[in-house]
Amino acid sequence: MFITFEGIEGSGKTTLMRGVARALRAKGKDVIETREPGGTAVGDRIREIFLDPKMTIAPLAEALLLTASRHRLVEEVITPALQAGSIVLCDRFTDSTLAYQGFGRGIEQSLLKQFNEAAAPALEPDLTFYVDVSLELSRMRVTKRSEEGRNSLDRLDREGDQFHERVREGYLELARANPQRIAVLDGSLPEEALVKKALDSLRAHEQLIAD
C-alpha cells in the first residue's frame, strides 16, 4: 500500500507520517518512510538546491528538478518496496507538484501531469492525507521552529502569503476532485488526535479496498 502525506509548510504532515508509521509498525507491518524531494542520493542533492534560500529558481525549473528527484525515488525506493509487500509512506508526492508549481506558480496542470506521469508511470497513491491548516497557524509554526533552531527558513518558507494561500486552495481543490483518495484532516488537532483520525481513515479505506 502506498500512502502519501500533503500540506502547506508547518501543517504537521511530517509529524503525522511518523505517528502513522509507529502505529503500523506496532501492528507488525513492514513500513518504509521516505520524502520528496529526496529519498535517494540524487534526490537529496536536488533537495539541497531546491530549498536553498540563496537560490532563485524559475517555476518550470522547479518542476523539472522535482520530476528528476521523483523519478529516482520511484525507481530506487517506492517501486521495489511495494513489490516486496511493504507499506510505503511518502512525505509529499505528485499532489505537491500540482499544488505548489501548478496553483502556486501558475504552471499548466496538464503539463505538470505529464511530468508526474513521466516520473511515476501508472503509480498513484492508494490513500493521501492532506493536513489542512490556516495560513496563520502555518506561519506561526514555521516561525516557532525557526526561532527554536529546529529548522532554518528555507526557500519556500520565505514565499509570501499569497503564494501559500494559492497552494492551500489548490490542495483543497484537489481534495474535492479526488474524495475517494484524498482524506482531509484538521492540522490544528493535537498530534495524538490527528494520528487517530488518520488511522481511522486508513481502516475505512482498507475496508473499501477489501469490498
Task: Count other Cβ atoms within 10 Å, centred on residue 167.
Answer: 26
User: Any residues with CB less than 8 A from the CB of 206 and at least 6 apart, and which?
Assistant: 1
pLDDT in tens, 107-119: 999 999 999 999 9
66/101 Cα distance (integer angstroms): 10
pLDDT in tens, 120-163: 999 999 999 999 999 999 999 999 888 887 778 889 999 999 99
- pLDDT score for 211: 38
What type of residue is 93? F
What is the value of pTM for the model shown? Answer: 0.94
What type of residue is 148? E
- pLDDT score for 207: 60
**Angle (CA) 106 122 72, round 5°:** 75
8 A C-beta contact, residue 112 and residue 101: yes
What are the residues facing 183 on neighbouring strands?
Answer: 129
Q: Which portions of the chain are predicted below pLDDT 50?
A: 208-211
Q: Where are the domains of the chain?
A: 2-210
Q: Domain 2-210 belongs to what topology?
A: Rossmann fold (3.40.50)
